[in-house]
Copies of this chain bind each other. A is one copy, B any other.
Amino acid sequence: MTAGIDIVEVSPRDGLQNEATVLTTDDKIELVDRAVRAGARRVEVTSFVNPARVPQMADADELMAALPRHDAVRYAGLVMNRRGLDRALVAGVDEINVVVVATDTFCGRNQGMTTAQACDTAAELVRTAGAAGVFTTVTVGAAFGCPFEGEVPLSRLREVLARVRDTGPDELALADTIGVAVPSDVTDRLALAREVTESRTPLRLHLHDTRHTGVANAVAAVRAGVTTLDASIGGAGGCPFAPAATGNVATEDLVYLFDRMGRSTGLDLGTITSTASWLERRLGKQLPGALLRAGPFPA
């Protein structure tokens, strides 16, 4: 294990979308700016979804327009339908992230369609965004378990992955949306994704630390050669449409881990941790990341 780790900072999107406190656009700009100053090179800054359903993301267009741009930094927007994509393209995103939830029940609650319909939609979005020169990710949500249907069998995941592969994204992500995965699941499901895609599509992993397996799962991913990992400053986050979907794995917890394992993330632990403290003050609540409380080592 020697290659660098690419952390996709998702706090402005997944970290904020489920919070009672809605950050101002200025605060979101500051959050993105702090992440970039800490070394982030890919930031999922917002989602272009129905503001009536996710009011925390109502300022998506305005936020994208206001964000300072940097040559080395790519901003992503989450989209679920053609309307969202059109907004994202006008706003000038560098990447889109399209979600397909692996179970019909959760997919229905999340985006009002079946998994098969979401795959058809994803195909159109990937094609359109690709034609516009925008990098495309399709994320398979609930790839490790569903809050409504429970276990997601490998046979079901294989079928969904095959459909997602056929949408032709630049990158394919597996999301442990409700934080139930253990390292053997990560090993098995990344191997399945690699098999289904014949290793032609770069893989990415989105982890939640709901059951304190997030860091162990990140290690398992890197062992399996998947070095693109989502994380959220402070461990903020959760899905508005999944019960008990608590925080993403905390960026600073991963930076601590990989720093001590001799794997570069390009991120500065002190800057990330102080940003997590700042975000706690802005949200008016304690965030679940461990480094926030424990501090670095050596001190």
> A residues touching B (Cβ–Cβ < 8 Å)?
145, 150-151, 178-180, 182-185, 209-216, 218-220, 244, 246, 250, 253, 256-257, 260-262, 289-291, 293-295, 297-299
Contact = CB atoms under 8 A, between A and B. Distances in A.
A182 B298 contact: no
- Copies of the polypeptide in the assembly: 2
A261 B216 CA distance: 12
22 contacts: A145-B297, A145-B298, A150-B298, A150-B299, A182-B256, A182-B257, A182-B260, A182-B261, A183-B216, A184-B260, A209-B290, A210-B294, A211-B291, A212-B212, A212-B214, A212-B215, A212-B253, A212-B289, A213-B215, A213-B253, A213-B256, A213-B257
Given A182-B257, A184-B260, A244 B295 contact: yes
A208 B179 CA distance: 21
Contact of A179 (B184, B262, B289, B294): B294
A47 to B, nearest CB: 24
Contacts of A299: 150
A211 B145 contact: no
Contacts of A209: 212, 290
Nearest to A145: B297
Nearest to A151: B298
A298 B142 CA distance: 13
A73 to B, nearest CB: 27
Contact of A211 (B219, B253, B262): B253
A184 B222 CA distance: 13
Nearest to A235: B212
Most chain B Cβ neighbours within 10 Å, of A219, A262, A295? A219
A182 B258 CA distance: 8
A244 B297 CA distance: 11
A295 B179 CA distance: 11
A246 B294 contact: yes
A179 B295 CA distance: 11
A180 B297 contact: yes
Most chain B Cβ neighbours within 10 Å, of A182, A260, A293, A297? A297
A74 to B, nearest CB: 27
Contact of A219 (B150, B178, B216, B295): B216
Nearest to A185: B260
Nearest to A298: B150
Given A183-B216, A244-B294, 11 more contacts: A145-B298, A150-B298, A180-B297, A182-B260, A183-B261, A211-B256, A211-B291, A212-B215, A213-B257, A215-B215, A219-B219
Contacts of A180: 260, 297
A150 B297 CA distance: 7
Contacts of A150: 297-299
B290 A219 contact: no
